[in-house]
Structure 1
Amino acid sequence: MNFDFLFSNLPQLTIGGLAFGAIYALIALGYTMVYGVLQLINFAHSEVFMYGTFAMLWTVMALGGADAGGIQLVAILIAALFAAMAMSAIIALLLERVAYRPLIKKDAPRLIALISAIGASFVLAELMGLRDRIAGWVGLDDNLSEYVGKARINNSMAGVLDAPRWEIGNVTISSIDVLVIVAAVGMMILLDQFVRRSRLGKGIRATAQDPETAALMGVNPTRTIQITFLIGGLMAGIAAFLYMLKIETTKFDVGFLLGVKAFTAAVLGGIGNLRGALLGGLVLGVAETWGSALFGTEWRHVVAFVLLVVILLFRPTGLLGESLGKARA
């Protein structure tokens, strides 16, 4: 164990861990929202995130981000943010309509809905991984070769953004890391206030707490579920945008491991708790970064899941175990 390396680079490692944890937290918000209302895990949410990363990448490519700079680059990145949010929101709404709503109407067991979510996850990932063949079937593979090529390997936008860095003592702070952390905290606060204070948010909380009574009081459950999936998709789109700014690379199966980590963050903080999703993501990101410095990078994922097991052994409800429906106003 390399304690010297850990303690000598602790501030740098902590900042990097918080940045990764913030991305986990934004994805975890989607898991938390859906679980809070439907009491089931949307395992296809990781692919909602993945489609957002490609929307970000393709928008930057289409608008010539590699050759842009200054105000033009800022405008392109803003367009890419909206494209990522729109793509993720559309995929999330399609998931709700195709994979969940028919089962909810039939009052199917939650296990069936879980299997449906897993199936939808594989379908969405493979559709992206076979996009070159799909384009070939409709005769567009030549026209879209830049976008459908390298369908099953890494797609990169490296070199588009040369983010400034600041030196504070022996610590190098990237503006991207600061942006990711601030954005995650800001979005969690906005979402938390939306759920607690807005009319739609109160409808979500009422449905999460007692769907039958909420329906009798005039809350449309179908609309509430749609809004919940929409919000989760928007959060995934923002997470996808920030992930691409930081990592700059995506792949058709990029959502799998990140989705598992985000789900871990949601459980760690207290599944169904918005503030818990943020806390769980940040704790997980820092813990796995410290663990990889201490034990080696090959232990990064091991540390993350061992932490989850330890937390659940001593506090099964998570750090802030509290359901969305019972959240305090």
Structure 2
Amino acid sequence: MVNGRCSKHFPKKFVENSKFDADTYPIYRRRDDGKTITKNGIHLDNRYVVPHNRYLLLIYKAHMNMEWCNQSRSIKYLFKYVNKGNDRVTAEFYKTTSNADGVQLVDEINMYYACRYVSASEATWRLLSFEIQCRNPPVERLSFHLPDSQTVFFQDDEDVETVLNKETLGQSMFTQWFEANKTFQEAKLLTYIEMPNKFVWKKNIRQWHPRKRGFSIGRIFYVPPGTGELYYLRCLLNIVRGPTTFSDIRSYNGVGPTTFSDIRSYNGVQYNTFKEACYARGLLQDDREYVDAILEASHFATPHSLRKLFVTLLLSNTMARPEVVWEKIYF
């Protein structure tokens, strides 16, 4: 009760048929049949009934409200509520001090603490070691990077020389994939995204080892096309099998290994960039449609409009090789 009124707007109105209000929330049918019940000296009719399910109340023996959820806003509310995170509580520790002049000083920052709240039911669930969440099938996120661009972790108090002398400095999940291809014959038949199917990444020793049981699905980190070489490297990782160095990824001889007998050293053409390797493998378009569009516009558009069109294509990041398009349309 707030100011003598129910904060949930009870009693409701009598309604002949269930319907939805302007915000798509359900308005349930409440018949004016004259039936009442007396509770604590108060006469209650259908306007005071909270939506519920009698079977669920009997099964769980708990207070449980029910709502009919078939509208988009209601579903969004439920998903936001389920995934809102852990229960939190704000605790206040009040302490005042006085300066030399006798003026009280209040530290408003340290006065309040945002703490994690563990209820009795959650504490029991965790003490009994029940599963907190279930994910099936398991997904392994695969990181990758350009040469000498791996992420390095270090403590705040470590000096640069100590960090650079660490043995694990160059051992990332991606570079250890190269080492696994050197060690295991079976790994040479797998792409980077297929590695979790047959191998498991052990973080404690930072190595790939053959999987003894189960399986996992690999997912490479997404990068937008605007990242340049990193994006083209990601394109190659979806098809290249068994490389042992970055230069092997940039090499292409027209065919790839399909069996153990087909696995040989990468003796094909070695391209200077990952982008050129993508063109050699036919992974990128030839930008012919953009060349045709600009040539067609040149018959009726002014030079200023053509330059503006080309700049628009550059800003939209749709052309695979802008320099080649420029060479073909420059006149």
Q: What is the TM-score normalised by the length of structure 1?
A: 0.21
Bigger helix fraction: 1
Larger Rg: 2
Higher relative contact order (CA 8 A, sep 6+): 1
